[in-house]
Structure 1
């Protein structure tokens, strides 16, 4: 496999990021192109992409917040981003299906956690489905139970990684 490069998102990545999101999440859960336009503008420092040979194959993104959990409104508006907040959230960790099970998501997560440390965050927070709790626990996240989030009509679990 060619080398995976992890870097900050750029405005010209918009269409591919939107395409990856649509491939990775059901329509009710997937962020829109308009959401990505706003996220790229508001928090490019916490929006990382993975590429191989110049092709984007995955990404991780989320805003900074002083909240200890993710709530649904955060997915829909960048007004909830607080640049100097104590926590960094994960809205999505996406890898195109044909590139899965190669450690790319783990590389993205490790870079994201490192970025959180380097910017003085106290924790990284995320929500995930039951089947992914174990995966995130492998990074040191703690399962805090069923989330109040009902984003996309799904059941989510609150996870926290203390840095």
Structure 2
């Protein structure tokens, strides 16, 4: 397994994995990934097995303390010097789940954020995954009032260094 940051050559594979992992109302489009990779490709952690993208974690950096729906839509809001690493997606294609690959990528994102001097990381997740992210040190801040992405209920979780 190889972990690398995203480049424009990865966009089609990223969009395909996202479409396999999230319902259409929640999945980012290939066009959205073009902008995301352009503005913060170095905040995508991609895991490849040979030539196949099997998992990735992505999100941008901001001084805003809470994850909002607008952040998913506007890659230009990324601030490389921001205090918080947001996590927008944790994706592993179904055939590769339950092997720890997502966890390895989450650990890498945490390590990078720590090295970059961030205050920590913020993500949102559905109720059934709160316990999963808690294993990495994320604290549940309750149901988000700033994100209803895909018309879903999201818990905001924060890992503070």
Pairwise CA distance, 1:69: 1.3
Q: Identify which range, 28-37 or 4-13, moves more after superposition.
A: 4-13
Corresponding residue pairs, total: 160
In the alignment, structure 1 residue 45 sits paired with structure 2 residue 37: no
Question: Structure 1: where are the runs of 5+ without partners?
Answer: none
Please, what TM-score do these two structures have when normalized by structure 1? 0.96
Which among 74, 79, 97 is matched to residue 77 of structure 1? 74
Equivalent residue runs for 1:78-93 within 5 Å:
78-93=75-90
In the alignment, structure 1 residue 95 sits paired with structure 2 residue 96: no
**CA RMSD, aligned part only?**
0.7
Which among 32, 48, 72 is matched to residue 35 of structure 1? 32
Please, what TM-score do these two structures have when normalized by structure 2? 0.97
Corresponding position of 2:154: 156
In the alignment, structure 1 residue 117 sits paired with structure 2 residue 114: yes
Q: Which runs of 4 or more aligned residues in structure 1 lie more than 4 Å from their structure 2 counterparts after TM superposition? A: none
Query: 2: distance between equivalents of 1:11 and 1:80?
Result: 19
Corresponding position of 1:6: 3
Which among 129, 143, 146 is matched to residue 143 of structure 2? 146
Q: Residue 43 of structure 1: SS of its match in structure 2?
A: helix
Q: Residue 106 of structure 1: SS of its match in structure 2?
A: helix
Question: Structure 2: where are the runs of 5+ without partners?
Answer: none
Which among 59, 63, 86 is matched to residue 60 of structure 2? 63
In the alignment, structure 1 residue 21 sits paired with structure 2 residue 18: yes
Pairwise CA distance, 1:79: 2.0
